[in-house]
Structure 1
Amino acid sequence: MGKQPNQKLIDWITRSGLSRGEVARRVHRRSLDHGIRHINPDTTGVRRWCQGERPRNPLPRIIADIFSAHFGYRVTTYDLGFTESPDLDRPLTYSASFGETVEAVTELGRADMDRRTFLAAVPFAATAGVGPSRDWLLNTLDQQPEPGPRVRLEDVTSVRNMFASFQDMDVMQGGGSGRLILTAYMNEHVYPLLRRAFADDVRRALCAATAEQTYLLGWMAYDDGQHGTAQRYLIQALRLAEESQDAALGAHVLAGMADQATLLGNPQEGRRLAQAGRQGLSRSDSPACLADLWTLEARALAAAGDGKAASHAVTEAERAFARVQPEREAEWAKFIDGAYLHGEFANVFRDLSRPTQSAEHARRSIDFARAQGRARRGAMSQAALAVSHIQQGDLEAAHSAGVRAITLSARVKSSRSVEAVQDVQRRMVPFGSHPLVADFNERTRVLLAA
């Protein structure tokens, strides 16, 4: 069978308005910029690519570069029809090169927009956080400003102003609610800025703003149950945070990575990531972030069965939170409040089978969440309260709290809140065919169907 025409490449050339001869000349010039002198295609060569001939490396990436430069946003080799799928291992790499980081995160963003079903199937790599956390920590503890190339601060301010809106969307409606909108915004408005020139102070501010939004993309994917996607965003957010020289922001990203590792059954890795974040935070001052890191270390310790160390970590988290002055904390730290912390403490003591303490913190979290209208946090804390009742043998109280968890979960798009309901369902199994168990199972079935 003959080659099939590369319709993707044909479409990009048509959209660009460039002739095939101009494409060939630009490929040659870009090759020379990379020190490659033997690449000098002509119009016939471009025609053969359009007819389906796949150019040899490094030509696909060079061709992608010239279209990226022409359109002002990242065009990948996959977009041009040169590869069967995006390179989804690349965003797992914590590159020393800022340019490679820009390419990795923009390629991930495009894949998230165009190949979401494909991307949802990528696995979580259990040990992928080891290198990034180590490199971030070493570079943070020995970080010197570097001269940068010559975006405006107004552009960065615009990005930062959008962050609060997207974070509120996640907190109030769940990660599955706004991720598609945020992905489109990042691909169209934010990641292209990283490819432009900027002064050194703008470079740091832009990288910080982009790291915040990239972290939020990862967190939304995490809350939506897309763990492989989330991990890739978080690793690239950590690298961008390093580039911004904002130690607190990097520690915040590590907190997210720690939370994910523990949730996915690797509490030792979760604890190590939280500890790395605390150590890096020694160069900055964010009591809210410190409280979060101690909390996530407590979650990891509880999951590993170390009750004494977990209780100590909870105490340290409370001590750090007592120092929080909200007006002095970054926008990304706004969610670290009473609803969040007491909800996580409830989970710590749930995992340690200390139902009285778990119920106390769950109720405090529920009160805070109700006052703020936070359905996702309310659902998860109601589920923790239901489990504490199960651990005490009170099925009726567990059923009541579990039903409230179901009601709140139906109001948000969050896999985590649904999983919390399913956890309650599994723990009810020992009560057999009790009518309350049957009722809860039916309510859960309706939630899952919706």
Structure 2
Amino acid sequence: MSKRGPNVALARLLDESGLSETQFIRAVNRLAAEAGVSVRYDQPSVSQWRGGTVPRLAVRPFIAEVLARRLGRPVTLAEIGFPTPRSTPDNRTFPRTVDELVDLVRSDMDPSRRGVLSAGLYSVALTIPAWPNIVGRMEAVRSGQAQRIGMADVEAVSMMTDRLSELDDHFGGRYARPMAAAFMANTVAPFLSADASSDARKAILSAASFLCYLTDWMAVDEGLHGLAQRYYVKGLELAGASGDHSTYCHILRGMSVQAADLGHGETASRLANASAAVSPTSGYRMRAFLSGQQAHSYAVAGDRSNALRSIRETEIAMDKAESQPGTFGGYNPATLAYHVAQVRYGLGDVAGSVASIQLHFRLRDATDSRRSGLRFSAVLAERQLEIGHIEAACATWNRVLDEYPTVHSGRVDERVSKINSLLRPHRSNAAARELYERARNISAHRRTKAGT
């Protein structure tokens, strides 16, 4: 640690946050642990930092993230009074997009580096590339290679992405993401630097952007949230380079879903609003797709009036939408029912949330994602238990466990891992006791297979 003059900027931010030095340093330690980094700072460390001592480079992002989460806005290292490394995202040049994507997917495929990537920190202060700053930036891709691609190659990428999406929906992100990363590294990345016509170049950039979106969605499903954010940002940059406004909006919305699921309501709302703001002239189904996520985000943030306003806008747009869903992000009545459930739960109406999830399942299509069906079923069971419907909750959980062994999803794992702790107080009930033993045996078997 180096020493400079008193850090007035850090002192000001700490005062603004309302955190005591002890609360602040505990939050830094917790956040580091969340990212897989073991640190044991105590209150005197904060006093040293306020006095001008600069903490280790690896610790600075955790300090910034704690302040960002507390203040509900991005906080940069420079704003804290810390020196900013030359390699930070803020001062990278856009033409590095493809090179950085290649580095990311190759690292993702490398077992020796995968642990480092997996431990990446989810950041509410992530810098989002704005559409006006990236649209049409085709110079990000340097041609001149011997290979030349055409629209047939783009079609092949799109078809392969569709197959990967189907595998993800059916088996989960942990199963499909290694294949997606390998396809990106070995096939798609070389295409991004190949010679092509203007139309083919824009099309391959768009296809690569969508593949990034799918890959980061898989990373979210594995619980690798820092890694997912890195894929999300590359997807945004590629969408801008291709002028693909639709994919850009979808990625922002996906980032909002991630933030909402992690409980970061203000960040989720900011991302959902940004997605809607750059798509003001979209059709009714797209409006419902975007405003439904706005409603969910507002509910997570505890903003009742905006949540209710947004869900009403979603219902109106859904009523006016075309009868057939779009091929990408098609919003349907089942998804609307899920968003209504999330809004009701976020605003304290647990029983209403249960009813809306049950409606969601009545409206679901047989071809809908099996993985999301299991996750939503587990959520339904938790909420059934919350309102005292123990037998109904156990029946729902048993259906989840019937299919659980064939799904490789971190989000489903997380839900299943909660069953025993939730049922422990209810083991006097025969159904709960039987399910408790079943869940314990299945979880033990899963851990044995994983070698943990």
TM score, norm. by length of structure 1: 0.70
Contact 1:208–1:241 at 8 Å: present in 2 too? yes
In the TM superposition, what is the alpha-carbon distance from 1:105 to its structure 2 partner? 0.8
In the TM superposition, what is the alpha-carbon distance from 1:91 to its structure 2 partner? 9.5
Determine if the alignment matches structure 1 residue 321 to structure 2 residue 318.
yes
**Structure 1 unmatched runs, 5+:** 1-88
Opposite residue 294 of structure 2, the aligned amino acid is E
- 1:385 equivalent among 357, 380, 386: 380
Opposite residue 107 of structure 1, the aligned amino acid is D
Opposite residue 108 of structure 2, the aligned amino acid is D
In the TM superposition, what is the alpha-carbon distance from 1:371 to its structure 2 partner? 2.5
Partner of 1:301: 298
CA 90–337 in structure 1, closer or farther in 2 if over 3 Å, else same: farther
Q: How many residues align?
A: 352
- 2:308 equivalent among 306, 311, 326: 311
- 2:133 equivalent among 135, 139, 146: 139
Partner of 2:187: 189
Contact 1:383–1:405 at 8 Å: present in 2 too? yes
Partner of 2:416: 421
1:11-410 paired onto structure 2 within 5 Å: 96-97=93-94, 99-114=95-110, 115-128=113-126, 131-132=127-128, 135-139=129-133, 151-282=149-280, 285-325=282-322, 329=326, 331-334=327-330, 336-369=331-364, 371-372=366-367, 374-410=369-405
Using the alignment, how far apart are the partners of 2:421 and 2:328 within structure 1?
Answer: 34
Contact 1:268–1:304 at 8 Å: present in 2 too? yes
Contact 1:91–1:104 at 8 Å: present in 2 too? no
Contact 1:370–1:378 at 8 Å: present in 2 too? no
CA 268–447 in structure 1, closer or farther in 2 if over 3 Å, else same: farther
Using the alignment, how far apart are the partners of 1:237 and 1:202 within structure 2?
Answer: 18
Which moves more between the two structures, 247-256 or 358-367? Answer: 358-367
Using the alignment, how far apart are the partners of 2:367 and 2:136 within structure 1?
Answer: 41
Contact 1:221–1:229 at 8 Å: present in 2 too? yes
Q: Percent identity?
A: 28
Opposite residue 291 of structure 1, the aligned amino acid is A
In the TM superposition, what is the alpha-carbon distance from 1:200 to its structure 2 partner? 2.5
Opposite residue 224 of structure 1, the aligned amino acid is E
> What secondary structure does 1:281 align onto?
coil
Contact 1:120–1:229 at 8 Å: present in 2 too? yes
In the TM superposition, what is the alpha-carbon distance from 1:241 to its structure 2 partner? 0.8
Opposite residue 260 of structure 1, the aligned amino acid is Q
Using the alignment, how far apart are the partners of 1:194 and 1:305 within structure 2?
Answer: 43
Which moves more between the two structures, 146-155 or 436-445? Answer: 146-155
**Structure 2 unmatched runs, 5+:** 1-85, 144-148, 447-452
Using the alignment, how far apart are the partners of 2:88 and 2:218 within structure 1?
Answer: 17
Which moves more between the two structures, 212-221 or 361-370? Answer: 361-370
Partner of 2:57: none
What CA deviation, in whole Å up to 9, does each residue of 1:215-235 have, x standing for no partner? 101000101111111111011
Opposite residue 133 of structure 2, the aligned amino acid is N
CA 354–422 in structure 1, closer or farther in 2 if over 3 Å, else same: farther
Opposite residue 136 of structure 1, the aligned amino acid is A
In the TM superposition, what is the alpha-carbon distance from 1:409 to its structure 2 partner? 3.1
Using the alignment, how far apart are the partners of 1:94 and 1:311 within structure 2?
Answer: 40
